[in-house]
Amino acid sequence: MQIKKFVAQSLKEATQQMKDELGLEAIILGTRVIESDKRFDMKKMYEITAGIDEPLKTEGEKTAERYSSEKKKYISELEELSKKIYGKEEIPFPKEKDPKVELVSKTFEKEINEIAEILETREVQKNLIKKITAHLSNSASFIDEANLQNYLLSSMASIIPTKDFRVSKSRTKKIALIGPTGVGKTTCIAKLAVISKIIHKLKVGLISIDTYRLGAIDQLRIFSEISDIEMAVAYEPEEMQKIMKKFKDKDLIFIDTVGRSQRAKENLESIKKYLDAANVDETILVVGATSSWRTLNDVAEKFKPLKYNSVIFSKVDEAVAFGNVMNLAATYNVPVMFLTNGQVIPDDIVSVNPSFLANLIFTGKLYK
């Protein structure tokens, strides 16, 4: 698939640009509005991210040189997208100290106290703060002011489990996304489905069991049509096996579940029946980064019967502190797989590792 962005003063113009250049076969992968800015005499614009499976065809004869150029461009764009999502393996600890978190003190004990205060403003739970500062105190003989921050971030990273998004063509893998209402499960599935199709080149299928929320099925169906990913709807748990047979040629199947309050035990049991019928291989809990720790703790506890084995934090771009990422991961020993930081598909999703999350929590900055 070749991916390209088109910008115009109206969505209609941007769509026409896409059709003129990529043809009627093109599919829309995402849209966003670029707001006006009077300071720079910028007007409101609309951006479409579009893709096409086949190389571009021009009027007249297309030379081998042109085809080679387009192929290289396509590979380059895929590599750029993959790097944006997965390129977090070697996130360095900050070399320059942020003025807001600068560790300036006359004694080691004072520095430890300042660290504790900073972590508290980042909404890290007190028991974890004590664990981190105790580790630093026990390593006092190896630490000086120059390397204190690196020791701190290393200590934080050691208690944050993470997990890679593993894909394979060896057999059909079934992944379900669960979580409370309004955290963005359907959008997460759309991002993961596009990543799986265009980066990992897998055959993907979508199943929705969200037959309660108004418009939920339509939302996923529209996405499946524009991305050319097959979709099915299960209205009863007994239908899951029939759909699985239909999708037997797929490498990866994503199941979009209905958002339910963690307090409604009978509703969670209903979801479990669907997942058991599908015999899912992996269940991912999706939670909002803007939720309070009290709410997240309750969600993580009540959703335990669904046996989730990783977590995605959504709406990171709306959060003001990220301590709850560590709080949930460390308290429940559940690895973090992705963060999502916007609505654009598939751009606004980030693969993580412990050092990346330690930086995020301590500095309060989302490094991309």
Residue type, 169: K
Domain end (from 131, 157, 183): 157
DSSP string for 132-190: HHHHHHHTGGG--TTTHHHHHHHHHHTT--B------SSS-EEEEEE-STTS-HHHHHH
| pLDDT for residue 55 | 56
One domain for residues 205 and 236 = yes
One domain for residues 222 and 290 = yes
| pLDDT for residue 147 | 80
Domain end (from 108, 125, 157): 157
Q: Domain for residue 168, yes or no?
A: no
One domain for residues 11 and 109 = no
Q: Domain for residue 358, yes or no?
A: no
Q: Domain for residue 92, yes or no?
A: no
One domain for residues 191 and 266 = yes
Instruction: Report the distance separating Cα 101 and Cα 116, nearest Å.
Output: 11
For residue 312, the 8-state DSSP code is: E
Q: Domain for residue 84, yes or no?
A: no
| pLDDT for residue 24 | 77
One domain for residues 43 and 17 = yes
Predicted structure pTM score: 0.72
Of all residues in the chain, what percent are helix, strand and coil, respectively (each to 5)?
45, 20, 35
One domain for residues 339 and 229 = yes
Phi-psi region for residue 215, left (φ > 0), alpha (ψ -120 to 50) or beta? left
One domain for residues 45 and 188 = no
Instruction: Report the distance separating Cα 246 and Cα 242, nearest Å.
Output: 6
| pLDDT for residue 126 | 95
| pLDDT for residue 82 | 72
Tokens of 143: 């630490």
One domain for residues 286 and 153 = no
Q: Domain for residue 43, yes or no?
A: yes
One domain for residues 192 and 308 = yes
What 3-state DSSP class applies to 41? coil
Task: Please give the tally of structural domains in the chain.
Answer: 3
Q: Domain for residue 16, yes or no?
A: yes
| pLDDT for residue 97 | 47
Q: Domain for residue 15, yes or no?
A: yes
Instruction: List per-block mean pLDDT (blocks of 10 residues) for the chain, which spans 368 residues.
Output: 83 85 79 69 78 61 62 71 65 47 58 91 94 86 78 92 86 92 88 89 90 69 86 91 92 84 70 93 95 94 93 93 96 95 84 92 78
Q: Could you tell me if 117 and 132 are in contact, meaning their C-beta atoms sit under 8 angstroms apart?
A: no
Q: Could you tell me if 22 and 76 are in contact, meaning their C-beta atoms sit under 8 angstroms apart?
A: no
Instruction: Report the distance separating Cα 359 and Cα 127, nearest Å.
Output: 20
Q: Tokens 């664990």: give the residue.
A: 131
Alpha helix segments (H runs only) across the chain: 11-22, 64-86, 108-121, 126-138, 148-157, 185-194, 216-227, 240-246, 265-278, 293-302, 323-332, 354-363
Q: Tokens 């739970």: give the residue.
A: 125
One domain for residues 213 and 303 = yes
Q: Domain for residue 62, yes or no?
A: no
Q: Could you tell me if 161 and 352 are in contact, meaning their C-beta atoms sit under 8 angstroms apart?
A: no
One domain for residues 270 and 303 = yes
| pLDDT for residue 96 | 46
Print the domain residue range for 295.
173-351
Kindly report the CATH number assigned to the domain that includes residue 183.
3.40.50.300
One domain for residues 230 and 340 = yes
Closest CA to 285 of 323, 252, 311: 311
| pLDDT for residue 37 | 60
Phi-psi region for residue 126, left (φ > 0), alpha (ψ -120 to 50) or beta? alpha
